Amino acid sequence: MKQQKRQNMQLDIEQTIRQDIASLKPYEAHVIEGNIKLDANENPFPWPMGMKEELFSSGFEFNRYPDGKAQILRDEIARYNGVKAEEVLLGNGSDELIQVTLHTFGGRGRSLMIHPPTFGMYAVAATITGTTVVEVPLLQGIKLDLNTMLEKCSDDESIKVIIVCNPNNPTGTLFPQEEILKLVRQTKALVVVDEAYVEFAGESLIGEINNYPNLLIMRTFSKAFGMAALRLGYVLGNEELINCLNKVRQPFNVNSFSQQAGVIALKYEAEYKKQIEIIKKEMQILYNELNKIPNLRVLPTMANFILIQPKEPSNLAEKLSAKGFTIRNLGNIPGLGQSLRISSGTPEENKAFLQAIKEVADSNNLGDY
């Protein structure tokens, strides 16, 4: 009898889990030990000299909660970006901030507008927060379809958030600032500009945050600052917007170690600038050299990665992996076709990669890898 009762009370997972969550697939990164990683748009260089030592010699009280306001880091980020600390909110990576933004402004009965192909986590965060996704695909895979975006916004009151990824992952495209500002001006929705790769592109809309009540800029330490492992992102916007997001943010979402790493990293800005300049030069080399390979479309890029499209369906990613290079196979992107994304490595890594991809191209029937 007791046993019977217990069985009746067992959780029926399929009946209990939210149906939209049941359809999600957990994120899985495919790490191939020993391969050169050119798949996650990370900074391939080690931290500037002395930075690790400075971080490790900082005194931490790991038995204490971190400063929930992260005041010192917010002050430093404010200084770095020329804004006030009250206009900065930190996250456990910008991934967390995408979710915090949708918890705050999205949710059931509300919609998020995105421009596929773009960063996949926007749609995932929308599902998690119960927000409907409205897609306005890029024109030819690279241009904002501004007219359709504006039309949809005026027709659909449920659109509360728009995310523009600039430069865009995975295409590397930099959208004109004037187009983004037109969207900001002509919609009531919150426009989030994800500037994860801004240091490589060199232009930002941060100077506009106080001109528009509906503009939020998202940034990360994971890319140019080479701190992907430490999960540190931030948003910048007017105080009212930041106060709204702060209601949803977990009180201790950024740990003490990452806070301190962020503070120290900003002191090494000049060193990082040197790394960024090398990566920008490398992107030019990658673009020029990949363009020489027949039957390969190479998209112009303003980020630290580049999108390539073999003419025919291919197993290029597998062939390169066998040669020791992990790149990101994005599969068949609607409106763009079969696509692969390659992040810049160090100059030595890129040189070896270019040799490998040329060998694969040479030893295969071109257009039919």
Ligand X SMILES: Cc1ncc(COP(=O)(O)O)c(C=O)c1O
Binding stretches for ligand X (CB under 6 A): 41, 93-95, 119, 165, 169, 194, 196, 220, 222, 228, 233
336/361 with CB nearer ligand X: 336
How far is residue 181's CA from residue 146's CA, in Å, rounded to a whole number?
11
93/117 with CB nearer ligand X: 93
For residue 321, count other CB atoms closer than 10 A to its CB: 17
Least distance (Å) between residue 93 CB and ligand X: 3
Least distance (Å) between residue 313 CB and ligand X: 25
78/124 with CB nearer ligand X: 124
Least distance (Å) between residue 368 CB and ligand X: 31
254/316 with CB nearer ligand X: 254
Q: 118: which 2 tokens?
A: 């773009």
Quick check: 235 and 91 in contact, CB under 8 A? yes
Least distance (Å) between residue 3 CB and ligand X: 47
User: What is the separation of C-alpha 188 from the centre of its chain, rounded to a whole number of angstroms?
Assistant: 24
Least distance (Å) between residue 191 CB and ligand X: 15
Q: 25: which 2 tokens?
A: 């697939």
Spatial CB neighbours of 68, under 8 Å, sequence gap ≥ 6 = 251, 252
DSSP readout, 289-309? HHHTSTTEEE---SSSEEEEE
218/296 with CB nearer ligand X: 218
Query: Half-sphere exposure (CA, 13 Å, Cβ side) for 327?
Result: 32
DSSP readout, 82-103? TS-GGGEEEESSHHHHHHHHHH
